[in-house]
Structures are given as structure tokens and as C-alpha cells.
Structure 1
Amino acid sequence: MKVVVIGDALVKSATLKDAVLQMNLEGKIDKIEVFEWHSDLTKDHFQKHILQIERYGPEKVEIPQGILEALKDAEYLFAHYAPISEIMLKSAPKLKMIGTCRGGLENVNVAAVRELNLPFLHVIRNAEPVADFTIGLMFAETRNIARAHLSIKSEQWRKSFSNDAYKTTLANMVVGIIGAGYIGRLVIKRLNALGIKVIVYDPFVDPAIFARDQLSVELKSIEEVFKEADIVSLHMRVTEQTKNMINKDLIQLMKPGSYIINTARADILAKDDLVDALKNRKIAGAALDVSWIEPIPKGDPLLSLDNITLTTHIAGDTVDAIPRAPYLLKDVVNAYLKNGYSDMLIK
């Protein structure tokens, strides 16, 4: 049996190979062939390739040299950020499984995977950090933590803010979750622990999962969530169906004292509609860890708003999230091979 692994600047091929050796794959591993995808770059220089593949997908970036030949007799393919494109998949007639040790799917041609009916497993390597950060942004935006800090650094002592008429404790608010996948459910778990009412929209999640995970939620339509929630937190993937899904039609349903939090992907939110709502005080504020262009360019309208908290796409960035990722994938693969199912199986 042959396994192909592709390392990159963040997850080294040696680590991924070590995790593969701990997988209970079907049969004896005869060969693990290793490839690299910009593994020689620093984290900062690798960022441009991350942004490229997240925005344009696996068909628009270069693939590792020699990999098409290697995939001809490979039965398993594991990677992190490297592209898994249609030509790669169609070069691998013996492939039994694909695994990636990250949550996003932008680097994989999912349609091609489905067409070939291959099991595709992934892991939300930074799910816990993102869930923590999401809660942090809720506090930071609603209670003006970042703005007060900025005023002190600017030699001011600011006590008044644009949301003064709506300031209250998080316990008095209703939080709406759009997208109750793995990260969304971790956010719900934290909100439940804080005693905060949670309403949810996700037509693709089996309602039985909430009972299984002992989560207290009310399921609503997306329009009901935007009408009723004081904070709407976005946790969806970017697809053709979800791009610009959160637009003026939904934002105009929100209460004047409500907020939008986005730690998912920028493209699910219509930028001009959000800027208009914030500029004209149609909603109280927003907090974004992701932006449509990163870094945010000088002169961007986001930078002139006084009712938004911006961070530099760091929600999932902790010292242990990425190094643990291959071993999380190992656990997911082993559980799937043992039980025949997994929450991390992309269908």
C-alpha cells in the first residue's frame, strides 16, 4: 500500500508522515511518498499562497512537481493546505481516501471528490481557538474594549461610544448562530455555559446533534434569527450558495442595537451592505477577524468606521493548533475506519 503526503510551510511533511504511521489504514504501508508545497517559505511569506488558494481554489494554483506520477498507484492522500485538484484526483485511480488536517475546504476540489465517491476526512484544527476568539469579539465589540484601548494609546480618555444607548451585559442578549457546524457548536457550548440564550439557523445540521452534544438552542429560520438576535455570529463555509448570503435583505431585519460577528470567511458577507449599515447606524456594530482583502488597504471604508472591531485573521492562531493538526487527523481517520462514520466526513 502506498500513501502520498504533502507538507507545507505550516505543517511539515515529517510531522504528517509520523501521523500517517500511527493510522490504522487497511493494509501494510509499503511506501510513503513525500511532497512539498512551498515548505521552504516563512509563515509570513506563505500567507500569500494561503490567500490565493482560499480565494481561487485548487485549480488556480501550482501543484507539486511529480505528484501526478506518484498518485498513479497511491491509495491514500493526506495534506494540509496543498491543492487537491481535479487532475490530481483523476490521476489516482487506486485512491481509497483523502484527508486534510484543516477545517477549510478551499484547497480541495470537493465536487471532483464527490464525483469519484471518495471518503474525504478533515479536521477543524483550530476550532477551539476560533470559538474562544468569537466569544472574545462579542465582548470586545459590545463593551468597546478595543476602542477604549485605542483611545488611551491615542492619548485620549474616551468614555462615550456610538453604542451607548444599547450597552448591556452579554447575559441580557440573544445570540444567533448562522452555521452550526463543529465551530458553531463549540461557540454554542460556551454561550450555554454563560447562560446566554442561543438561536440557530442551519438547514444542513441534523437537530438530533444538539441533543447529542447537550446543547440548548432554538432552531429558527434565517430571517427569524436576524430579526430576534442581538448578536449574529457567522460560521458558514464559502460556497457559490453562501457567497454574499448575508446582505442588506437580512441586515435590514436586525434591531438597531444589534451586532454582526464574523470569524468565518469575508465573502459570506456583502461588504458594501455591511459598511452602509454601520455608517448609517442601522446596527450598533460589527467585529470581523476576516476581510475581503488582507491586509486591509489604506483608504478602505472599514478603516473609517467607529463602530467596528477589526483583527488580523488570527482567531485560529495559537501555538498548539497547527502542530497538533496531523495527529487530530490521525484520530479522525482511525475513528472513521473503526466506526464507519464521522462528523468530519465531507459528503
Structure 2
Amino acid sequence: MSARPLVLLTNPMHPEPQARLAAHADVRLAPATDAQTLARAALDADIVIVRAPLPPEALAGARLRGAIRHGAGVDMIPVEEASRLGIAVANVPGVNAVSVAEYAVGQIIALTHRLRRIDATLRAEGWAAARALTDGTHEVAGRTIGIVGLGAIGREVARICHFGLGAKVLGARRSDAPMPDHVEPETLEDLFARSDVVVLACPLNESTRGLVGAGLFGRMKPGSYLVNVARGPVVDEAALIAALTDGPLAGAALDVFAEQPLPAASPLLAMPHVILSAHLAGLTDDAMRRMGEGAVDQALQLLRGELPRHLFNPEAEVAIRARLQELGPR
């Protein structure tokens, strides 16, 4: 066994928290993020910090004590298998909420003001053609923004839209947790029917996979918009493409997709009224530093034999404590 513990990174992290981690452990960057490479690279790791889908085989190492999501959503980690093995799963919730919310609000403005199409038209066709596109553009003030998922990201989007832009905000969430006073609770169906812009900010799980399909798109107003900063599989992508082609959607801003990277043959790439980005809404330098610090804090807790602050699989706590005790502090 190495004299120092080994922490595997599936992808690079911010250099400042990585340097802090390197004072306590050997830090290794996986040479690739395919399932076979990650499984092989994790065999002798004490901890894996996860920014790419982790296959169940990557949990087979005898020394592994934790898989820490560099971010909030743990759909990249096989949680059930980790729990069965007594391996802690942790995440860093909320720290990229401002970055993702700013992205979402920026896209709301870009869509309602047709900024992407105006920019492209000005460059290709000139001044007059670009100015003509302002017909039918809208202010966000006074419009209705519907938010699906009122976690840290959804609440921040709601705050900016209500207090910053003067929009009416509707919210739908699966839990019974209270909503902020400036968010009107609404059923999912009526939220889609009433909103000028719908923002998806919910987690991906079995209850949200395929949540948004032809039925909900069919309830939306003609000329409405969709912004997805949740996960691609929350949306039926074929139904989305149909809604963008035949209505009612006037446009969409998508940071996430059913298949990532987005295939070169995707019809979305040919749609000028769709703004696309590469799952990067939460990857500002500020958010990356905070996510890295949160991941390192919990890695050091696990190396000391402690439970991580944001343990995601507490139902396996007994097995996790037993495994940590067996492995001992590093």
C-alpha cells in the first residue's frame, strides 16, 4: 500500500483546492473518462472525485472509501452499488447555484430579445435585416416564468426573475417543502400552460426521467420558450424537437441533452432559434473553486475516517462506518 492515500479525479479540478488536496494525498487525473479506463484507474484509489459517469466496476477497489460528486447531481454515480459495498457517496450541493441561475436568466433574456438570431443576422445580412427581427421581441418584466424544481438553483432563478426583472414566478416541485413567498405554487400542468418561459432546474431521478414530453409541450402558449439547466433525460428530446419545429415553442436554450456530447447529426444543431451549450452552466471559475473546495473538504473527512458532510446515501451509514473502520484513517 502506498504511504500516501490516492485520490482519483475523473476530470481536472480548480488548481487551488487541488493543491490543498495534494498536501494530504497523491492526486491522479484519469487518462480518459470511458468506463473501462475509469474502472481500471480507480482500482487502487482511496477516493474518486467524480465529474464523469462512473461505472459500477469503478467501485471494486478494496481501498475505496468514497465517491464524491464534484457538484450536486449524483446521477453520474451508481449509488445503489456504492451503498451495497459500504462506500460513501457525497456531493457538493448548492455551490454552483448562482452560476447556473445567472446562465438561465441570461438565456431567458437572449431568447425573449432574440439576441442570438439578431447577432447572426447582423453579421450575415446587415443592419436592416437584424433590426427587422425586433418585431415580436419581449421584455421579461411582467411576463410569467415557470420554474420546475425549487432547489438551490431554482430558488436563485426565482429570486433574480422576481426581484431583478419584475417577472411573475410560478413554481412546481415534487416535495412538500415550502416555496419562497415570491413564488406562486402551481401544478406542473398548469405551470406549463401559464408560463411564457419554463425553466427546468430539477434533479434527474426515476420520477423526473422523461417528465417533459408532448403532453406538457402541448399545453404551452404559442411563442413560449424552454430553458433546460436540469438534465437532458428530463425531456423527451423527440417531443422537444417537434415542439420547436411545429410549435408552440418559439425557441429554447439547452445546456444538457439526452446524449452527451450532442451528436453531430442532432436536428437541434440546425435550429437558429435554439441556443446550445455544452453542459457548462455551472462551470464558472467561481463555481469550480467552490465545488473543488467542497469536494476536498469531504475527501479529507473520509481520509480521517469520518463521514462526509453531505453524505448522499445515509441509508448505508452502518455499512459505511464499518468499512471506514476497517480501512482505518489515512
Deviation at 1:252, TM superposition (A): 0.3
Pair 83,142 (structure 1): closer, same or farther in 2 beyond 3 Å: closer
Q: Which amino acid aligns with 2:236?
A: A
Letter in 2 for 1:198: V
Distance in 2, Cα, partners of 1:14 & 1:319: 11
Which deviates more from structure 2 when the two are superposed, residues 106-115 or residues 228-237?
A: 106-115
State the Cα deviation string for residues 265-324 of structure 1 (Å, max 9, x = none). 222212221121122232322222234455655564224434323334432332343244
Q: Distance in 2 between matches of 1:148 and 1:170?
A: 18
1:26 alignment partner in structure 2: none
1:275 equivalenced with 2:275 (yes/no): no
- SS of 2:108's equivalent? helix
SS in 2 for 1:286: strand
- Which amino acid in 2 is paired with 1:159? R
- Mark the runs of 5 or more structure 1 residues left unpaired by the alignment: 22-30, 39-45, 53-59
1:6 matched residue in structure 2: 8
Whether the 8 Å CA contact 2:42–2:48 is kept in 1: the answer is no
Alpha-carbon distance in 2 for matches of 1:85, 1:301: 29
1:136 and 2:75 correspond:
no
Which of residues 184, 190, 203 is equivalent to 2:174? 203
What is the identity, as a one-letter code, of the residue corresponding to 1:108?
I
Figure out how many residues of one structure are paired with residues of the other and give that number.
304
SS at 2:171 equivalent:
strand
State the Cα deviation string for residues 31-82 of structure 1 (Å, max 9, x = none): 73544312xxxxxxx6xx3xx6xxxxxxx443364643x46xx5xx241326
* Secondary structure class of the residue paired with 1:243: coil
- Contact preservation (8 Å) 2:21, 2:27: no
Aligned to 2:287: 321
Alpha carbons 1:5, 1:79 under 8 Å: kept: yes
Q: CA deviation at 1:84?
A: 4.8
- Cα displacement (A) at 1:147: 0.8
Q: TM-score under structure 1 normalisation? A: 0.73
Distance 1:113 1:13 in 2: 28
Shift of 1:119: 4.5
Change beyond 3 A, Cα 1:252–1:160: farther
Moved over 6 A (4+): 332-337
CA contact (8 A) 1:259 1:284 kept: yes
- The answer to whether residue 61 in structure 2 is matched with residue 105 in structure 1 is no
TM-score, scaled relative to structure 2: 0.76
Which one-letter code corresponds to 1:180 in the other structure? L
After superposition, residues 172-191 of structure 1 pair within 5 angstroms as 172-191=142-161
1: distance between equivalents of 2:266 and 2:67? 39
- In structure 2, give the amino acid aligned to 1:11: M
Within 5 Å, which residues of 2 pair with 1:155-194? 155-156=125-126, 157-161=129-133, 164-165=135-136, 167-194=137-164
Q: 1:345 to 1:202 in 2, by over 3 A?
A: farther
Kindly provide the CA deviation profile for residues 168-192 of structure 1, in whole angstroms up to 9, marking residues without a partner as x: 3212111111122222222122223
Q: Is 1:37 the equivalent of 2:30?
A: yes
CA distance in 2, matches of 1:234, 1:178: 5
The alignment yields a C-alpha RMSD, in angstroms, of: 3.6
Once residues 325 and 178 of structure 1 are traced to their aligned partners in structure 2, the CA distance between those partners, rounded to angstroms, is: 23
Distance 2:236 2:71 in 1: 25
Say whether residues 1:254 and 2:220 are aligned partners: yes
CA distance 1:274–1:86, change in 2 (3 Å): closer
Distance 1:3 1:218 in 2: 49
Question: Aligned AA for 2:90?
Answer: L
In structure 2, the CA distance between the partners of 1:20 and 1:245, relative to structure 1 (3 Å rule), is farther
Tell whether the 8 Å contact from 2:213 to 2:236 is kept in structure 1 after alignment: yes
The counterpart of 1:123, out of the listed 92, 96, 99, is 92
Q: Which residue of 74, 81, 91 corresponds with 2:51? A: 81
Superimposed CA distance per residue, residues 124-168 of structure 1 (whole angstroms, 9 cap, x where no aligned partner): 55332211110000000011111111101113332344x945x43
Give 1:236 shift: 2.5
The verdict on how the C-alpha distance between 1:291 and 1:183 changes in structure 2, with shifts beyond 3 A counting, is same
